Chains A and B, each alone.
Chain A
Amino acid sequence: MTTFKNAILLASLLMAGAGTAHAEPGISEKEIVLGNILPMSSSAALAGRALQIGTQLAVTEANDRGGVAGRTIVLKTEDDGYVPARTVQGLRKLIDEGVFGLLSMSGGGGSVAVLPIVEEQGIPAFASLSPVNAAVDPIKPTVFMIGASYRQLIFSQLKYIHDTRKRPDAIYGIIRQDDDFGDDVEKGFQRGINEFKIKAAEPVRFKRGQKDFGAEILKLRSDGINVLVAGGVTVETAAMLKEASKFKMDLDVATVPTMQLLPVMKLSEATEYSPLSADYVSPLGSPEAGHFESLVRKYLKEDEAAAVNRYSIVGYVAAKVMIEALRRCENELTRVCVTAKLTSGEPFDVNYLTKPISFTKERHTSATAVRVLEVDPRTKKVRALTDFAEY
């Protein structure tokens, strides 16, 4: 009788143990589910789709090597069309379907709106699409940001211009969007003019979705600027350059990373400017991006490969870090372990695509080192001018 009772007890204990072993959301015996919430429609799709392709590349590469802890990694992507209400809905759907971690949290208002839910559920998440200060200020235990903020990106270029151009009577000007992204860009601008003690024209703001910048450029032209921070999101920068080119303004131009995107370059090719840009990932075409490009050629169909841009590299990097953290937690696939491994301070190597990535409990941002780039819209080539440096 006692042995029978003991047997039942043991059996139920084992079953209970087996139950909790699979209680981690997104982890099953065969699969690990990772999620993306990205704008796959709307004008931000240029970035969203590219990032998704990048994450998928890393996942395919990992699965080809046998997966992690004997399981295949599955990627689920929710489209939010860059609408904050839908970002929240997308997250809820992923949670319902069972997701272990997030490789992206869209951008703008949506990424901030999902933070409370991510925090509540303790989901390891990367803010990878665009720098979101609210994600790491104040620090949330499971949320990490990859990439430098726009103020660092802009300041790095202003420093380069100041150090190499040495214009005797420089006047700096900026056109920026009237939201938090534009605010961040302007902060980089302000830092530049304060540190280098440069004269500056009054910042000009434009409304999101604006297509013509005649009035804005005219205003700055009447202020006599010769260095311009063109803070357009994507194609706005091209429009600004075209207007400036009309008046044959002699300008050094600093831009945000989207200047490297093919559509933006195409629209700028009629101007004579070779704008500077900056990025926290090495540009496509540089030797450091060689391995990544070989993966693109190996795994992607033609139309997918055409959609690859610097956002794909960011997605690839984020996915690699998450997968590596999972690998380091091979014996204990839980969110707690993965978060611990991420905040341990140990570096994650991503083959020089960025400087090695590491986080600690107090610092949830990484890959903040920036390279200054030169974009030539006529040859569609991007050249790195400096190596990674912190700004």
Chain B
Amino acid sequence: MRTGHFVENHGKQIALSDSEVVWSWTAVLLILCLLLPFVASGFVLTLAITIGISAIGAIGLNLLTGVTGLISLGQAGFLAAGCYTTALLITDYRWPPELALLAAGVVSGLLSLIIGVPSLRLKGIYLAITTLAFSFIVTHFLLYAEPLTHGPYGVRIQNLRFLGLNLAAPPQMYYLVLAILFLACLAFLNLMRSKVGRAFFAIRDHDIAARAMGIDLTQYKLSAFFAASFLVGIAGGLMAFQFRFVNVDLFNILLSIEALAMIIVGGLGSLSGALLGAVFIVLLPEFARTVTNLLPTHLSAAFSTHIYDVRGLLTGLAIIMTLRFEPLGLIGVWRRVSRYWLHWPLST
């Protein structure tokens, strides 16, 4: 049992973890993730890919909202921008998919700078509504600029060769998503341990005080927007690979709200929170489906035409219950449980 956590040099401070136990369990998790395609069915793999892509987007949003405190409801717009960039570059301009994916991140990031500039003056909910407005304008543009974006017909992607992988096969797509998710996690953790990360936290906690301490708000807020949108753009590009058909229909306000739900239910500001939130929100409808299937047959027959709305009901209730009992989200639950076991049998 540890009595304290002492940091003796800089290396130890920025180390990802000083505990061997944590490292070994992380390794186990990684191995399990790598082995998944060998045991999982097509449907489970599709879910896993969706979770992976959502997690990348959630990490991006977490960077913006959880860490820097800039509330954004416009994720759907950035996802759409990234998705369409990838799809159009591959289909219309014959770019290789690898570069198209990177371009998705860059375009999304640059787009976010446009919304970042108004953000400098706006706070809280007013910022959120500006990002929401922006996302609507982006989707409107994608629908109406037919010569550029194919308008309502969407874009079909045929070329799916990525660094030698064939992304049409779910296991290979899964490994790509896993790799990018891993890189995104490392990037996030690295950022948090750096000067930039500390500046972000300061801005969240109190931006006027941060400015008084010498942190250039303009520079750091815009960097937060760029970094976060880069990640979300990459997630959008991966979505293009997953669906192979891109259409404005995929991106609506409910997607932005779902993204926000992922990071709030998971736990604002932490990496594990974003990951847990993504897993939770994506798996919730499946969990609700299992519950309704377990009902005795006469009950489920009574619900049969409405089974789908029962699932929606359970999803909403699950979100409410989670926050009711742990307002800090799933990561709060995790920490409470781990603290309990850490101090057992002396835990309160």
Contact = CB atoms under 8 A, between A and B. Distances in A.
Interface stretch (B68-76, B89-97, B243-251): B243-251
Given A41-B308, A84-B243, A180 B42 contact: no
Contact of A92 (B43, B151, B168, B244): B43
Contact of B43 (A84, A93, A112, A183): A93
Interface string A328-366: 000000000000000000000000000000000000000
Contacts of B50: 85, 89
Interface string B204-221: 000000000000000000
A75 interface: no
B308 A85 contact: no
A134 B248 CA distance: 16
Contact of A96 (B43, B168, B247, B307): B43
A212 interface: no
B309 A41 contact: yes
A109 B83 CA distance: 15
B41 interface: yes
B243 A182 contact: no
Interface size class of B (residues with CB under 8 A): 20 to 34
Given A89-B46, A113-B245, A113-B247, 7 more contacts: A89-B43, A96-B43, A115-B245, A116-B244, A116-B245, A178-B143, A180-B153
Interface string B85-114: 000000000000000000000000000000
B47 A84 contact: no
B332 interface: no
Interface in A83-123: 84-85, 88-89, 92-93, 95-96, 108-109, 112-113, 115-116, 120
B327 interface: no
Contacts of B249: 84, 108-109, 179
Contacts of A178: 143-144, 152
Contacts of A49: 305
A266 B255 CA distance: 33
3 pairs of A and B residues whose beta carbons are closest in the complex: A109-B249, A41-B308, A109-B247
A183 B146 CA distance: 12
A84 B309 contact: no
A184 B153 CA distance: 11
Interface size class of A (residues with CB under 8 A): 20 to 34
B37 interface: no
Nearest to A179: B152
Nearest to B306: A41
Nearest to A303: B305
Given A84-B250, A116-B245, A180 B41 contact: no
A96 B41 contact: yes
Interface string B287-322: 000000000000000000101110010000000000
Contact of B154 (A88, A95, A109): A109
Interface string B39-51: 0011100110010
A120 B250 contact: no
Contact of B42 (A40, A92, A109, A116): A92
Contacts of B308: 40-41, 79, 81
Nearest to A181: B152
